């Protein structure tokens, strides 16, 4: 079976290289930094990803919050009605 990358049965050309020709790496850039350098890199990457986020406007946030609160109130009412019905049914059946 083949796909865009290659075959499952036959490895790609780069995988066929003998092991003796491959150089052992110790981790590249990550291996050279200490724990504080890696932590600083991690936080810089977090900030870079947060800058890509499309934040909602105040009106969108108000709308979303209102929808969630209304949904929760409806679900609380539904569960309350079902619970009240079951408790009355249990009282009727078991006395």
For residue 7, the cross-strand partners are 2
Q: For position 14, what pLDDT does the model report?
A: 60
pLDDT for 33 equals 77
- In whole angstroms, what separates CA 83 from the centre of its chain? 34
pLDDT in tens, 70-85: 999 999 999 999 999 9
How do residues 9-40 score in pLDDT, each as one tens digit?
655 556 555 555 556 555 555 556 788 999 99
| Per-residue pLDDT, 3 | 55
CA of residue 13 relative to chain centroid, distance: 35
Dihedral sign of CA atoms 55, 50, 69, 78 in order: positive
Q: Are 39 and 46 in contact (CB under 8 A)?
A: no
Q: Give the SS3 label for residue 61.
A: helix
């Amino acid at each position: 079976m083949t796909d865009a990358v290659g075959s499952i049965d036959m490895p790609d050309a780069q995988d066929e290289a003998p092991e003796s020709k491959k150089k052992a790496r110790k981790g590249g850039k990550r291996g050279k930094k200490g724990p504080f350098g890696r932590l600083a890199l991690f936080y810089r990457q977090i900030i870079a990803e947060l800058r890509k986020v499309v934040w909602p406007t105040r009106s969108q946030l108000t709308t979303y919050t209102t929808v969630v609160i209304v949904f929760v109130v409806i679900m609380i009412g539904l569960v309350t009605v079902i619970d009240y019905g079951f408790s009355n049914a249990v009282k009727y059946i078991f006395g």
